[in-house]
């Protein structure tokens, strides 16, 4: 074999072997969440403060579980552990309790007491840095060879407050210098420690006990582990965070709000790059798992929450709130509309000032107009509920027109009942439809009717009312 081809073959085999070894390795995650967060000035534990619509701790748990070969996620809580457990009851978490605040090294040691024995590597995450990505953590894992230590670093424009990464002339990791201990030269370094590390479990077990608490706070700092490792000839690898904002920690409400805005702006930029028109990226919020197709136009102050799918050609007006819903292609959502748990088909028009509650399914080319509220209702194709109406627990056919001020009276004080309106029905203004009731095809319901029985097909149904006039003296005007 030609020498160059042989070298390439050896390189490919080596890379495949490394990938195979990495794939077969098992990982556990320890999230450090025992801090009191006193600077938040809140009774809510710091890691339960919400960012992008969910607690910071939930972001980390979700990201951790998304990684390959993660066998266990451990959260170390302190005095706040009961609140943490109550906030994340359904998550696949093993809990560990740090009864005394003795530092990060102590918290990791407590986490190790509940680690599955078969796990060989431990990824440590700070609970107050919620936005680290799967991509970045995967980079750290792949950059760290077996039986070595990995550290995630980041280059930041303003490194104040962070520990600096000190390297030798060959860019090899030497140590971490904390802000208080850094000299003027070291303070100019912009590569900083993120507090995210990857350790072989055996090394943690071996060296954690060597960390002392000879410091002002008398705490056991995990950063001291690196000097012990280097002194014992352990190699340390590093990886850079994909984005600087991923590793930002939160110590107070100001930082939480700043990180929220930075994250939301980044999400807006990501959508802009995919062909979504966002008229003001600084006034756009995503708080969940959102898919937006290209050629969608979004005006200011739009909030998307939970699982939201917005198909191609949709236009969303200003000040709209959309949660757990699908918006079909070319639909128009007029300003100031609230949509929660709804499916809206193509070419529909919603709003302005419409409210769609859970269980709503809007048909093709249908219109739900201003100040209309709908819940648990299916609306057929090309039907219209244009003004000032409430429709609940209903099944509405195609080509139906419901007049202004009409309501379905679906609740008798104990049970909910269904209103059925078949195709081609016209319901006049200011009608009350007392469920359970059925309006058959092509029926017309006269304005002002209180419908208490089923309405037959092809007929006009109304309540007979006599109009009367009588003598009357208008009271004198007393002024405005």
What is the pLDDT at residue 155? 93
Give residue 356's domain range: 276-461
Angle value at C-alpha 153, between 152 and 159, nearest 5 degrees: 150
pTM of the model: 0.85
Mean pLDDT of 400-404: 98
Is 242 in the same domain as 281? no
**pLDDT, tens digit, for every residue of 333-366?**
999 999 999 999 999 999 999 999 999 999 999 9
Count of structural domains within the chain: 2
Instruction: Say if 190 falls within a structural domain.
Output: yes
Instruction: Say if 259 falls within a structural domain.
Output: no
Asked if the model's pLDDT at residue 94 lies above 80, the reply is yes
Asked if the model's pLDDT at residue 472 lies above 90, the reply is no
Asked if the model's pLDDT at residue 444 lies above 50, the reply is yes
Is 174 in the same domain as 87? yes
CATH (domain of 91): 3.90.550.10
pLDDT band at 20 (very low <50, low <70, confident <90, very high): very low
Instruction: Give the C-alpha separation, 372 to 187, whole Å.
Output: 60
- Residue 372 makes CB contacts below 8 A (sequence gap 6+) with 354, 355, 385, 386, 387, 388, 389, 390, 391
Catalytic residue annotation: 387
CA atoms within 13 A on the CB side of 241: 22
Establish whether the linkage from the previous residue to 352 is cis, with ω within 30° of 0.
yes
Q: Which residues pair with 131 in a beta bridge?
A: none
**pLDDT, tens digit, for every residue of 117-137?**
999 999 999 999 999 999 999
**pLDDT, tens digit, for every residue of 456-468?**
999 999 998 777 7
pLDDT band at 19 (very low <50, low <70, confident <90, very high): very low
**pLDDT, tens digit, for every residue of 26-67?**
999 999 999 888 899 999 999 999 999 999 999 999 999 999
Is 382 in the same domain as 420? yes
Is 231 in the same domain as 342? no
Asked if the model's pLDDT at residue 244 lies above 60, the reply is yes
């Amino acid at each position: 074999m030609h020498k160059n081809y042989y070298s390439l073959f050896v390189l490919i085999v080596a890379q495949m072997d490394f990938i195979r070894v990495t794939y077969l390795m098992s990982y556990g995650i320890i999230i450090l969440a025992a801090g009191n967060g006193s600077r938040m000035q809140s009774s809510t534990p710091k890691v339960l403060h919400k960012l992008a619509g969910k607690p910071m701790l939930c972001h980390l748990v979700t990201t951790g579980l998304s990684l390959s070969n993660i066998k266990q996620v451990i959260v170390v809580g302190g005095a706040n552990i009961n609140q943490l457990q109550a906030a994340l009851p359904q998550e696949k978490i093993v809990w560990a309790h740090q009864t005394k605040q003795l530092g990060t090294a102590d918290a990791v040691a407590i986490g190790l007491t509940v680690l599955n024995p078969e796990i060989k590597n431990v990824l440590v995450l700070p609970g107050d840095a919620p936005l680290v990505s799967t991509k970045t953590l995967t980079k750290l894992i792949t950059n760290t060879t077996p039986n070595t230590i990995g550290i995630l670093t980041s280059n930041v424009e303003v490194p104040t407050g962070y520990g600096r990464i000190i390297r030798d002339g060959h860019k090899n990791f030497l140590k971490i210098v904390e802000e208080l201990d850094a000299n003027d030269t070291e303070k100019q370094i912009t590569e900083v420690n993120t507090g995210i590390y990857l350790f072989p479990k055996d090394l943690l077990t071996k060296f954690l006990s060597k960390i002392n608490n000879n410091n002002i706070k008398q705490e056991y700092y995990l950063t001291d582990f690196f000097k012990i490792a280097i002194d014992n000839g352990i190699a340390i690898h590093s990886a850079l965070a994909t984005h600087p904002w991923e590793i930002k920690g939160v110590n107070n409400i100001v930082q939480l709000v700043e990180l929220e805005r930075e994250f939301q702006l980044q999400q807006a930029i990501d959508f802009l790059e995919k062909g979504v028109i966002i008229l003001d990226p600084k006034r756009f919020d995503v708080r969940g798992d959102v898919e937006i197709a290209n050629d969608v136009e979004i005006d200011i102050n739009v909030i998307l929450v939970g699982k939201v799918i917005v198909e191609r050609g949709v236009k969303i007006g200003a000040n709209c709130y959309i949660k757990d819903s699908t918006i079909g292609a070319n639909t128009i959502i007029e300003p100031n509309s609230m949509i929660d748990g709804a499916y809206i088909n193509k070419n529909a028009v919603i709003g302005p000032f419409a409210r769609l509650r859970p269980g709503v399914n809007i048909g093709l080319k249908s219109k739900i107009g201003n100040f209309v509220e709908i819940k648990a209702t299916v609306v057929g194709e090309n039907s219209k509920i244009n003004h000032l109406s409430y429709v609940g627990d209903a099944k509405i056919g195609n080509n139906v027109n419901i007049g202004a001020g009409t309501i379905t009276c679906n609740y008798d004080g104990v049970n909910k009942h269904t209103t059925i309106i078949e195709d081609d029905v016209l319901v006049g203004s200011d009608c009350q439809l007392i469920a359970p009731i059925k309006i058959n095809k092509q029926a017309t319901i006269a304005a002002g009717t209180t419908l208490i029985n089923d309405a037959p097909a092809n007929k006009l149904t109304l309540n007979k009312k006599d109009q009367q006039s009588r003598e009357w003296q208008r009271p004198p005007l007393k002024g405005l």
